[in-house]
Structure 1
Amino acid sequence: MRILIWTALIICVGYVMIHQFLLQFPADEEWKYNLGILLQGLSLSYIAAFLFFIVHDYYPHFLTKKKYQPIIDRELSNLWEICNSLTYSMSKHSGVKVYYKSENFEESVAEQLRNLPVQFNKDVKEENIDSEDISSKTKHPLPPDEEFDKKDKPIIIREMGFDKWSDAIEYTTSNISLTLNKVLKMKDIVKEETVIKIFDLERSISDFRIVAKIYEESHNKTFKNGYLEQVFVKFYEGTEELKDYNKRHKDPKNFL
């Protein structure tokens, strides 16, 4: 569409210039002269409309986008880091990596879920025997260590640790919803495709959250689920869409 608009503008400007030159030569028939004047009027009208669009719509929109684009990049970059952390944990525990642009993309998503364990084996002991008082066999509870506990969690999303997939997905879902609300307030600046991808992202992770809670309560072995294997493809597609915003946020000079 943009190419068509600029092409029409070039044609109109070119015609006006050529017509001014042709006016130096009298037309052999009146209808040719009238047609030339009509086309010139239409061309001038198009040029005027184009200039009005530039001044009234495009330039203000350009200034607004320039002002808020860094904020959008920051918010979507943060969301990408959260989603990417979740997919990394899924790859780690399933042993299956998903590459968005690979030929077997849908198959690898399904394979990852089929190999992703629902439950984790916990080897952490709540109590420990004091080495200085072994003979008494008295047990002393270890003092809480939040930093150690966080690192010992099987699922890490950014700096947050989780024991269950449902909790990790709940955290991811809440961040997606918050970001989506912010994006919708600036929907005139964000690409329509990005907004649609985030909607699909939210829907797919919400479905995963429901399945995760059910499977954890029923002690399923893996997340093998035909419906989830189909819809979770959208999560990876949305994450890939956010990747460009992460790159621009980290290095905005390359996107000027």
Structure 2
Amino acid sequence: MRCFGLRGEVSFEGVGLHSGRTCGVTVRPFHLPGIWFSSGDGPVPAHRWRPCSGDRRTHVEVGCRSVETLEHLLGALAGLDIWQVLIEVEGPEVPILDGSAMPFVRALVDARVEAGDVEPVGVTSPLAFEDPAGGRILCAYPFDGLKVSCLLDYPGTPLGTVYGEFPVDAGTFVGRIAPCRTFGFREEVEALLSRGLIRGGGLDNALVIDREGPMNRSHLPFREECLGHKVLDLLGDLALVGRPVRGAFVSIRTGHGIHHRAVAVLRALGGLVSDNEG
């Protein structure tokens, strides 16, 4: 399939959601197809970075280099079909910005240019990944394109149970997925802080829900925003396959850990096996 690159570098700076430190990331044009990351050993393709089941975020490692909270930037690249770039991260994580993918999208879409072809990785037979303890299920089946059906279930909260279907193309991504901020519940804040998480979080970069509903609002209905953000996280994690993915995905209460299990299988289907997986 035809993919896009960039006509020039695009940089972002801001606070890291979990570290609370000032972080930066630059996305540069690159001469080879795929998503590449800068490391101490030079450019490394995405499929060679090992995704770890980080608590509430995607974190990847190669050698002694580790980077966290990549999923929103990677989701923006995948949603815009940008598959020929080099990513350089300064600091421990990618800045959270407003908690959605839209700041990345606005800058990247203006710099996007047609590049070469890249071969997608297709789901060739039904796949299922399950976490019985967490009630999480991720399924995938062959499909000519990419679509996600997503179910959230938070009983006893204003969010409750919500379901939606998302055909993933650039228009749907920009309109229904990219604007959706990371979300959490007010009652979880102290516990997360005690684990060294969300030290850079606040009402300016996350949708926070208390017993009455959202504490801060946006132009999106909050239940739709939560649903769209879960889809964004899945698309960002799937980008670690290193190439576009083709298939229909059914996500039921999933999180980064179960997404990463699917990434390992899809890398193998595409012949993209990292040093850690081979």
Q: TM > 0.5 between the two?
A: no
Higher Rg: 1
Counting strand residues as a fraction of each chain, which structure ranks higher?
2
Counting helix residues as a fraction of each chain, which structure ranks higher?
1
Bin for the TM-score computed over the shorter chain: under 0.3
Scaled by the length of structure 2, the TM-score of the pair is: 0.23
Higher relative contact order (Cα pairs below 8 Å, separated by 6+ residues): 2
